[in-house]
Amino acid sequence: MASQSAPPLYVCLCFILHILTSTLAQSDNYIVYMDLSAMPKAFSGQHSWYSATLQSLSKTTTTTTDVLSSSKLLYSYNHVINGFSASLTPAEHEAVKSSPGYISSIKDLPVKHDTTRSSQFLGLNPNSGAWPVSKFGQDVIIGVVDTGIWPESESFHDEGMTEIPSRWKGECETGTNFSSSLCNKKLIGARFFNKGIIAKNPNITISMNSTRDIDGHGTHTSSTAAGNNVEAASYFGYALGTAGGMAPKARVAMYKALFDEGAFTSDIIAAIDQAISDGVDVLSMSLGLDDLALYEDPLAIATFAAIEKNIFVSTSAGNQGPFLETLHNGIPWVLTVAAGTIDREFGATITLGNGIKVMGKSLYPGNSSVTDLPIAFLDQCHNLTQLRQVGQKIVVCEDKDGSSLGDQVDYISSAKIAGAVFISDYKDLESFFQTTFAAMFMNSKNGEIIKGYIKNNSTEPKGRIEFKKTNVGTKPAPTVTSYSSRGPSQSCPYVLKPDIMAPGDFILAAWPPNLAVAAVNSKFVYSNFNLLSGTSMACPHASGVAALLKGAHPDWSPAAIRSAMMTTADTIDNTNGPISDNNEPASPLAMGAGQINPNKALDPGLIYDANKEDYVNLLCALNYTMKQIQTVTRSSAVNCSTPSLDLNYPSFIYLLNPNDTKSESKTVQFQRTVTNVGEGKSTYTASVTLPVKGFKVSVVPDQLDFKGKNEKQSYKVSIEGPTKIRETVVFGYLSWAEIGGNHVVKSPIVVTNLQNIGNKIT
């Protein structure tokens, strides 16, 4: 009896079912970044463009129906990124890479509440500490003087914000591509100042005559200080998490005084002046001027007026490190912020043909991987002719002396090679991570693994590079960044600067979506978030923390807030060793009092306060003329009867005089007054926790007894030692520890023989 065959229709349906089942089983979710400028005008919006892109995949893959193709679209993003998420098979994922406007794609990863990492790294927690106590900075107004703002950014949405405080006097000015209606309960002020620019260049045309940001710096800094939470933010898959500012419920007022056409001090002063009139509580300025006396520095002059109005001012230290005496904004009445790293690294993994994986560093924003390719070691990649003949390979280049890396990167870029691995022990590798081509960087220890594999492989060695790796919990952290400017201050060396260190390295924050953040193979790419480094990024971290402290302690003066930050700062990293600077314990001239700790600053125990008269006494002791002092104070009624260089500051600096040839040993004294801001009675005892090498430090009295809150007690510190030392800088710490309590009030002590500073001493 002949066998009975299945009906043709049944076979067809089974085959289709098999195709559909295998297709669905192999699918994975991807986030696809698209270039919005490539969207054809025929589409009414991004959603329809993304849908059509997925529909077109059915023509190039085995997908059987348009219905199935269109259903693959999960979300069409309008704010978080320019792009979409979709469920794609491997074949469809490859096909979408050929779609017009495609930039890159990453696998959809599990999302957890991790911010841009810096707030978590600083210990901020929604359930306890500075965030809930200050109500996340609610109703504190942060004024930012910068390049403007991108108001449509999700970081400035006002969901969950209360009504604008009635005391606010500011407004949102209409200008080019900027309507007053763009402001809301988060962004409550937007003004711009460019009369100085126009006066200097009467024929100039201001390209963006409004508060709108076409540079990106102002959007980044303001969202770092007070951006609202935005989920699923990342830089092309790096640093994926929830982006939020230090004070997410604080208000933002932008004062644009830096334009593409230039920036002049007349405009900056006008911006600060307006901010004072409008009623800001905190002023954040990631900018500065170099080599100016206090009476010549418009920032010093303008911020003096702000301090008089009880406005806290945070400024950046500058990016001229690691050299000493390069710091700007060494203004005694403002906070000067250095930049440190956080416990997060961005990188890539190369998987060798033998299965061994080797980690490296990278911020390449293009495709998430370079598939299996032949790999070749070319030693120092200096021969452009040879490199152009390599073809589709991964090349391994070695920077042996730490000086040729930049040239090698340029040569590889010109040669159009598929991928590259750079081996180098250059200490500032971070400046190379953001390549326009697929590249990763590693130290010589990891590099030897790759070199050994290539050398010992009898067949053609191969490798596969996977990018967009984010590792958290890296050690040691924090460290001082090399670029952060070091003290002492040229303008006022008698006050130890910088004051504090805050995260400034590779900080993720909001960015204008029409400004390129990088280039991939000569093509610009765009993102709603960007990773930037600098003391410009550290400053708004401190500004946001100041807003939290202002919200929790509205009666505290700017000096009290600064003191709370400094005396509670961390000097120990996450390895329980001292915070390092180029593998050595960091000096206070690099990191100030240490890494900012918001939760500890909330309850400092004791504070060092200062007022206008204290600053005037300092100005008088600097041998300024009366007119010069009046330039700063704006008052003719200046009393210089009690001049003093010994400002009531939470740090100490002893400047050795190179012209002192009369004695081999000398004793200097400092006097300080502390105020008890803790509850009830308390007793503190003094100790020098890290002896100042070669010097004897004594404290009288060495015990302070407080009977109640707001009581003041004074003490003296004597530093005795040689008038000349071999080291450029020696340092230690004075700590006041509460007996039977948890408070430790810590202040750095520095002794330096820097010649440029010393020659200014009279």
Retrieve residue 706's tokens: 């407080």
- Please pick, among 217, 328, 541, 553, the residue that the annotation labels catalytic: 217
Alpha carbon of 513 to those of 31, 179, 516, 559, 690: distances in Å?
A: 17, 18, 8, 38, 49
CB-CB contact of 246 with 119 (8 Å): yes
Measured in residues, the chain has a length of 762
Retrieve residue 480's tokens: 């001082």
Asked about 217 being catalytic, the answer comes back as: yes
Asked about 536 being catalytic, the answer comes back as: yes
- Non-local (6+) Cβ contacts of 59 within 8 A are none
187 φ, ψ (degrees, to nearest 5)? -90, 100
**3-state SS class at 26:** helix
197 φ, ψ (degrees, to nearest 5)? -60, -45
Retrieve residue 295's tokens: 């009476």
Retrieve residue 472's tokens: 């958290």
E runs forming strands in 309-450: 312-316, 335-340, 344-352, 357-361, 369-377, 394-399, 419-424, 439-442
| Pairwise CA distance, residues 198 & 194, whole Å | 6
| Pairwise CA distance, residues 15 & 17, whole Å | 5
- Please pick, among 536, 563, 580, 587, the residue that the annotation labels catalytic: 536
- Please pick, among 51, 105, 134, 146, the residue that the annotation labels catalytic: 146
Alpha carbon of 599 to those of 148, 312, 607, 672: distances in Å?
A: 30, 18, 15, 25
| Pairwise CA distance, residues 597 & 599, whole Å | 6
Alpha carbon of 525 to those of 102, 452, 508, 514, 664: distances in Å?
A: 10, 36, 16, 9, 63
Active site residues: 146, 217, 536
